[in-house]
């Protein structure tokens, strides 16, 4: 089983739509979680960290369910500029015999927002 599983999409939505992405992770002891955004042929850029209580940054809302090992990202009022691939990223923490800071990436969910 992969460390991080994501629906690859693609998601094609009109401007103004609300879209949600989901992600599951396999290691229940994972310590930190992030959503990154990757534009075509570019490096990943941090979109937001994901906190246990859920967090919001403008039009973006991230949720974490540790019991279900499930992470979500909600984008409201989609803009054309939101078109990108969204990566679910998990830090398993050092306790797993893993190097501190080592990240596991989902395959990414592709989003296209059309006018």
Partner 1 sequence: GAVVSQHPSRVICKSGTSVKIECRSLDFQATTMFWYRQFPKQSLMLMATSNEGSKATYEQGVEKDKFLINHASLTLSTLTVTSAHPEDSSFYICSVNGGSNQPQHFGDGTRLSIL
**Would you count residue 25 as binding partner 1 (CB under 8 A)?**
no
Strand 45-50 vs strand 55-57: parallel, antiparallel, or unpaired? unpaired
Q: Which residue of 21, 25, 34, 86 would you call a contact of partner 1, by CB under 8 A?
A: 34
Residue among 92, 104, 109 nearest 37 (CA): 109
Whether residue 35 contacts residue 17, with contact meaning beta carbons closer than 8 Å, is answered with no
Minimum CB–partner distance for residue 91 and partner 1 (Å): 6
- The 10 Å Cβ neighbour count of residue 31 is 12
**Would you count residue 21 as binding partner 1 (CB under 8 A)?**
no
Residues lying near partner 1 in the complex (CB under 8 A):
4, 8, 31-32, 34, 36, 41-46, 49, 87, 89, 91, 93, 99-103, 105-108
């Amino acid at each position: 089983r992969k460390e991080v599983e994501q629906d690859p999409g693609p998601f094609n939505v009109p401007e103004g739509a609300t879209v949600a992405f989901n992600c599951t992770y396999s290691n229940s002891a994972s310590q930190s979680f992030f959503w990154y955004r990757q534009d075509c042929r570019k490096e990943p850029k941090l979109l937001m960290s994901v906190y246990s209580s859920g967090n919001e940054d403008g039009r973006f809302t991230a949720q974490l369910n540790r019991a279900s090992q499930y992470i979500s990202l909600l984008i409201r009022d989609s803009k054309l500029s939101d078109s990108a691939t969204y990566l679910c990223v998990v830090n398993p923490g050092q306790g797993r015999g893993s190097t501190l800071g080592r990240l596991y990436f989902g395959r990414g969910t592709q989003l296209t927002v059309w006018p």
